Amino acid sequence: MKLIIINGPNLNLLGKREPEIYGSKTFEDYFKKLQEKFKNVELSYFQSNIEGEIIDKLHEVGFNFDGIILNAAAYTHTSVGIGDAVKGIETPVVELHISNVHAREEFRHHSYIASAAKGVIFGFGLKGYELAIQSFL
């Protein structure tokens, strides 16, 4: 089982700023724990602050991986391009958000990805990534 986690803009700051919303763990530390927990899963991780790099990564993995866990961060609410890329690939995508986007500002309630996603997980903190992996097993 080959899965990839793709994180979008500013998620490289996890654990460093706004711990009240996003927690105090860095994603790199959490990713190591995920790898230990899911030893039978070939798990990769990619983070970019650049929309086109996220689209390129979706094209690269979107025909040969078994699943994509995508937290496109702010691009979720703005990017027709990432939404189109998710529609254009074959690998199923689980959209994920650490925070409960529906309990936050109105502009976070809309997603360009959700309609093409296999499912959406939000509001469970970093634990959501674990739930997303389990959804593919």
Binding site for ligand CA2 (CB under 6 A): 10-11, 13-14, 17-18, 22, 71, 73-74, 76, 97-99, 101, 108
Closest approach, Cβ 71 to ligand CA2, in A, equals 5
Judge whether 112 counts as a catalytic residue.
no
Residue 74 or 114: which CB sits closer to ligand CA2? 74
Residue 42 or 107: which CB sits closer to ligand CA2? 107
Closest approach, Cβ 126 to ligand CA2, in A, equals 9
Cβ within 8 Å of residue 36, ≥6 positions away: none
Judge whether 75 counts as a catalytic residue.
no
Residue 16 or 33: which CB sits closer to ligand CA2? 16
Closest approach, Cβ 8 to ligand CA2, in A, equals 7
- Rounded to whole angstroms, the Cα distance separating 17 from 11 reads 10
Q: What angle do CA 103, 69, 10 make, to 5 degrees?
A: 60
Count of CB atoms situated within 10 Å of the CB of 6: 23
From the candidates 30, 45, 75, 97, which is the catalytic residue? Answer: 97
Closest approach, Cβ 46 to ligand CA2, in A, equals 15
Residue 79 or 91: which CB sits closer to ligand CA2? 79
- The residues assigned a catalytic role are 22, 97
